[in-house]
Amino acid sequence: MKTKTSLIKGIFVGIGITVLTAFAAEKTFTIKFSESEINKHYQKLALIKQIVDNSNLAHQDVVFITKSIDSLQSEILTQVKAQIEPAVPVPTKK
């Protein structure tokens, strides 16, 4: 009887730990760059992509690196546009 009780307690503890770790909050980091710095980094990424395309790397490696750079550049553009474009004002009732 004692082992059955400890087994059930162990199951509940395992489920509890799983539930607590499943709902861990994701952290968001914001990195701020000046316009000239972000342009410089964006251009360097484009240059790296061009160098990789002209390299002797295996096609699979080139595709991976190119897609990674494209993804990063896309995220940069998304973040910059979100910060530049003003939020849509909420209409007020009169």
Instruction: Please tell me the pTM assigned to this model.
Output: 0.54
pLDDT of residue 83: 79
Query: Counting Cβ atoms within 10 Å, is residue 36 exposed (0-12), middle (13-18) or buried (19+)?
Result: exposed
pLDDT of amino acid 88 = 60
Count CA atoms closer than 13 A to 83's CA, side-chain side: 13
Q: Residue 38 and residue 81: Cα distance in Å, rounded?
A: 12
Which residues of the chain register pLDDT less than 70? 1-2, 19-29, 86-94
